[in-house]
Structure 1
Amino acid sequence: MTKHLTFFILILTLLTACGGGSGIIKINTSPRDAKIFIDGELVGNSPSNIGQTFAIKLDEGTYTIKVTKPLNNIYTYSKEKTVFIKEGTIQTVSLEMEKIETAIGKRLRIKEEVEKQKALEKKALEDEIYARAEINRKRREKEKAEQEILEKKLKAQQREKAEKLRLIAEQELLAKGVELVEARYELLASGAIVSDRVSGLQWMRCSLGQEYRNGGCHGKAKSFTWDGLININSNFNEYDDWRVPTIEELRTLIYCHSGKPDFFNETGRSCSSYKDSIASVFVNTPNRGKFLSSSETKSSESAYVLFLAGGDIGKPLKGYTGYVRLVRGVLNKD
């Protein structure tokens, strides 16, 4: 009761002092404790306690009232209102402030929006790149699968053609009284040279270091390093074009036998459980070690070899030693 009475006496006092064309305006704000500006001039703060109000006497006229209260660097509370003060009156203005951005807040928001937009554009670009990569990957996989099918078909056709040619050649040779070994090899130079009717190559029947006589290879096969191959004599049995075979040519010698069934194996993989890995026409071949080839690997420090134990292909360093079987002619790839 005392507070209300005090307030009434204060208002009455202000009214009594209002003469000369002035009026009173009471200003309430939400939130409280806000700075009050009238026509751009700071006149005070709204009370922070409930039940209190800010009152000021103004001459009759139109005024712009603005109230502000900072929230942080990014946002502030603010509200602006134009009022008319009439002489001899008391009016109350309640201002519900709105949260608005500060200049710093606006800059930060714009920066964040720009960064978000850049991130979205970056992600869109990455998604596009990924999608294109996926399309290209699937296209390559399809092309690879189609190529593999085509290669398998061609290899099957080549095998079929080679088999037909072999059978024809075999029949022709049999008609001439020439006996083939393992259905493809013809013995020349009294058995010292083996002619492969399928590959078109001619091989020395014995490894270098051995001597062919009386149907067998006698003596011990000589071991060479890859660098030592350049000194090998190319003259043998009236031919001077003998050479170290390539790995492709060596593959034609791989023959997995003593198993069921026996078969020629040019895949480069091991003969597995088969006892030997080279055709029996090549008598007295060492059953351990490897045959050297003239084919280097992608690394200049190693070269391809044919392992005699299992018939698989390896690529040891060139310093390793191995046996050599010379060849002449051109490999038939049909």
Structure 2
Amino acid sequence: MSEEEEQDELFDSRQILVDPKQKPVRIDKFLADKLAGVSRSRVQNGIKAGSIRVDGRSVRPNHKLMPGQLITVVTPRYRAEGEPSLIPEDIPLDIRYEDDDVMVVYKPPGMVVHPGVGHRTGTLVNALAGYLQKEDLPVLPGNDNDRVGLVHRIDKDTSGLLVIAKTDFAMTHLARQFFDHSIDRTYQAICWGEPEEPTGTINAHLGRDVKNRQNYRVYEEPEEHHKHAITHYRTLEPLYYVSLVELKLETGRTHQIRVHFKWMGHPLFNDSRYGGDRIVKGTIYSKYKTFAERCFELCPRQALHAKSLAFTHPKTGKRMAFDSELPEDMTACLDRWRAYVGPRRQNDQLS
């Protein structure tokens, strides 16, 4: 399965109802027997991290389960059986923060996050594996078999911040935060046109497009397998033909922002998958067409940037927040559009 086909958030969730005839048993033993390929120590980490709960409440590893209790389990999604072993590589990383438990890294546009079909090497995960190995730093158990601390991802051509877990406990703790939607993520994007409402919320289910299984689309009459997706947006700078917008995610579905904005009629600038790589707003004159094509050349990818990230530190409990600059290609594109619409702005202010 390629990166573009996987969920943004790399965790699994499930519910287990304790059998009415179950004799009292420690929850860590019960789950170690119940969950295939999950060790008792990993179960204990999950309980301590709060990602395993009983009837909605946190418990201790020695909690005795009773008949009829409901267990909810959120676990990081580790390497699938049969997936090729990871190749550590010496690739430079832009590390914005690091301690013994977590890292925050900046991913440039064009870099694939995780190895997949056609991308066995050169990915962010290959770089992380090489860095952790080289520096002899703590890594997840079975580094060769796991995802080197990934609990979320961004698309290849999206730039921005990612949080990486360096211990199994941190990975489990962060997975629970993503599941609970308590991790704050802010994106900035350039979209075509100006949204009619300068601020708003897009609440629309997503699913695979039956005409093109590589793409996703909004389903206004969702079925059970469609994913609920919520995007909050705010227009930061309207520029007539395009706008700079800020986006906050409540959910982390594949291509969520890109599909939501296409559905609104404002596809992201130069998003080739969802119709943003053609002129969506503007005149038919050749001079404008030439100008727009030069803007495409300045930002040769979907103009989307994961700008900020905030989460609770797994060990200290402290809330941590990180911000990043808008990348050069998006900044250059915006500057070109600002100059282009400058005279029109002046005329509007005078009228």
Asked whether the two chains share a fold, i.e. TM above 0.5, the reply is no
TM-score, length of structure 1 as denominator length: 0.18
TM-score, length of structure 2 as denominator length: 0.17
Higher helix share: 1
Structure with higher RCO (Cα < 8 A, 6+ apart): 2
Mark the structure with the bigger radius of gyration.
1
